[in-house]
Amino acid sequence: MILEWLIGILFIGGIGAWLSEKSNSELPRVIALATIVLDLFLVILMLVAPGALGLEPISSSDLGQPGEWLVLSTAEWIPRFGISFIFGVDGLGLLLVTLTVFLGLMSLGSAWHEIKERTGFFYFNLLWTLAGVIGVFTALDLFLFFFFWEVMLIPMYFIIAIWGHENKEYAAMKFFIFTQVSGMLMLLAILVLVFFNYQAAGEITFSYFDLLGTEIPDAFGFWVMLGFFLAFATKLPSVPIHNWLPDAHSQAPTAGSVILAGILLKTGAYGLIRFTVPLFPTESMAFAPTAMLLGVISILYTAKVAFAQNDLKRLIAYTSVSHMGFVMLGVYAWTSQGVQGAVMTMLAHGFSAAALFMLAGGLQHRIHTRQMDQMGGLWGAAPKMGFMALFFTVAAVGMPGLGNFIGEFLVLLGSFRISPVAAALAAIGMVVAAVYSLIVIQKVFHGENKNNLVVKDLTKVEMICFGLMMIGLLWMGMYPQSMLEMSEPTLRSLGVPFFD
């Protein structure tokens, strides 16, 4: 029941935060804080002391898939249509659930002083988005998975549309259209997959375990796989279906950008690893060269586009697309180093991108602009902010000793075995990233303070948030084995080839 509690606590906390606004406008954020802290406490127990929760590794071989699950629970929901409540978390899922709850706390910290209007409804949407994401990372019934896929999108639409900036309605609608259309394609693909499984097995089921190995006629297999791929590639995002992201990021409030970059993009990568390739291994391997090409194009093209940006948040958004291109490349290399590198990149990018958007949002909140040509010389006015910006910038471009370097190095190593050309071109992207990142530091924090801007330095709450994310990146860079060992059993069970 622990996974149901993780999700239920967020749902209940969100409703409580919304209702409490009527009595006290400060109470919703306190309720949201207590809710996320309680979830974080349970997640930490799952990581370090699962026995305290009565959790023991569960073999799922009797369900049709080898491997071990820390939690695996099943209950009927709509038995007539083969729909069940199936929740499970293994090493990969637990890493991503931990990332979700931790960055949820970071987003709360960024919203603490920024959100002043309709606070109850804001924290309701924030907590329900987190609940939806945890559902995505733990649902093992495909109908249930789609349900949570929708749950996490609708609150994010409201976060952008209500608390965003000057073009918030346009950005929110664009986000909604891209994600909804691709989501509907995935739903159609799920139904077709279930239909072919019904023809073979004689019963309707949406269970992930039952659908693994479903034989689909050659004329349909590629198109069904493509329905899943488009939904996940849109959320990743990948070129050419990426252009909703810069608008969403630039217009979203800081907390919205933190959740988008740090968490929501990872649901797309998770979907590729957990669903697309294992459910359609033959079709996915045939499609792999195209997917790897899209990954390389995403790395190089969006890195180039980032050079042309004057809006700080749009620039960081394009760099996110570039870095997530490494994830696409690593997943479709489908080697142990490539996929483990993709997982490490997902985790490290969650920290570095969330921190950079918090810094950009904090700057906008202080000086009321995102335009870099109106900044300059801010290091002297806000040295703590300058130091944090430099640290997370060099982390994002792959400084050795930090988590991003481990992830991208493993991706390059794993993809080189499949396509040396793709790996070489992707490595160029790392060089380009270093150049535009240093240009950002120069434009924003060095040089002349043209407009004599007076910037308040980071607060204690912000310093605590950035300090925790620094520790996370250092831990991933200095001791990545702790996370690689957690994800390895999952990847083995999904068919990733390991060479012992």
Q: Are residues 197 and 284 in the same domain?
A: no
The amino acid present at 88, given as its one-letter code, is G
End of a domain among 149, 174, 203? 203
The amino acid present at 19, given as its one-letter code, is L
pLDDT at residue 2, as a whole number:
87
Domain membership flag for residue 275:
no
Query: How far from chain centre, in Å, is Cα 483?
Result: 16
Q: Are residues 307 and 196 in the same domain?
A: no
Domain membership flag for residue 314:
yes
End of a domain among 188, 203, 218? 203
The tally of CA atoms less than 13 A away on the side-chain side of residue 102 is 24
Q: Are residues 386 and 500 in the same domain?
A: yes
- How many CB atoms within 10 Å of residue 380? 11
Residues in the chain: 500
Give the structural domain span for 119.
Answer: 1-203
pLDDT at residue 452, as a whole number:
72
DSSP string over 175-214: HHHHHHHHHHHHHHHHHHHHHHHHHHHSS---BHHHHTT-
Cα distance between residue 335 and residue 344, in whole Å = 14
Residues 6+ apart with CB under 8 A from 314: 246, 249, 250, 370
Residues 6+ apart with CB under 8 A from 341: 326, 330, 406, 407, 408, 409, 410, 411, 412, 413, 414
Domain membership flag for residue 267:
no
Q: Are residues 286 and 197 in the same domain?
A: no
Domain membership flag for residue 425:
yes
The tally of CA atoms less than 13 A away on the side-chain side of residue 140 is 24
Q: Are residues 185 and 294 in the same domain?
A: no
DSSP string over 371-431: BGGG---HHHH-HHHHHHHHHHHHHHTT-TTSHHHHHHHHHHHHHHTT-HHHHHHHHHHHH
pLDDT at residue 500, as a whole number:
52
Cα distance between residue 161 and residue 500, in whole Å = 50
Cα distance between residue 10 and residue 36, in whole Å = 7
Helix 383-396 vs helix 403-416: angle between axes, to the nearest 10 degrees? 10
Q: Are residues 194 and 289 in the same domain?
A: no
| Cis? peptide before 66, omega within 30° of 0 | no
Residues 6+ apart with CB under 8 A from 471: none
Domain membership flag for residue 264:
no
Residue for token pair 């996490």: 152
pLDDT at residue 433, as a whole number:
84
| Cis? peptide before 240, omega within 30° of 0 | yes
Number of domains in the chain: 2
Q: Are residues 67 and 192 in the same domain?
A: yes
Q: Are residues 12 and 107 in the same domain?
A: yes
For 68, the 3-state DSSP assignment is strand
pTM of the model: 0.94
End of a domain among 168, 203, 238? 203
| Per-residue pLDDT tens listing for the chain (500 residues) | 788 999 999 999 999 999 988 877 789 999 999 999 999 999 998 888 776 666 666 665 555 555 578 888 889 898 899 999 999 999 999 999 999 999 999 999 888 888 888 889 999 999 999 999 999 999 999 999 999 999 999 999 999 999 988 888 999 999 999 999 999 999 999 999 999 999 988 899 999 999 988 888 888 999 999 999 999 999 999 989 988 988 998 889 999 999 999 999 999 999 999 999 999 999 999 999 999 999 999 999 988 888 888 888 899 999 889 999 999 999 999 999 999 999 999 999 999 999 999 999 888 888 888 888 888 888 888 889 999 999 999 998 888 999 999 999 999 999 999 999 999 999 998 888 888 888 888 888 887 777 777 788 888 888 999 999 999 999 999 999 999 999 998 999 888 888 65
- Pair 433, 319: CB distance under 8 Å: yes
Domain membership flag for residue 247:
no
pLDDT at residue 458, as a whole number:
86
Q: Are residues 36 and 176 in the same domain?
A: yes
Closest by CA position to 280, among listed 149, 190, 181: 190
pLDDT at residue 59, as a whole number:
61
Q: β-strands 68-69, 58-59: how paired?
A: antiparallel
Q: Are residues 184 and 97 in the same domain?
A: yes
pLDDT at residue 377, as a whole number:
82
Q: Are residues 141 and 28 in the same domain?
A: yes
Domain membership flag for residue 237:
no
Q: Are residues 287 and 199 in the same domain?
A: no
Domain membership flag for residue 411:
yes
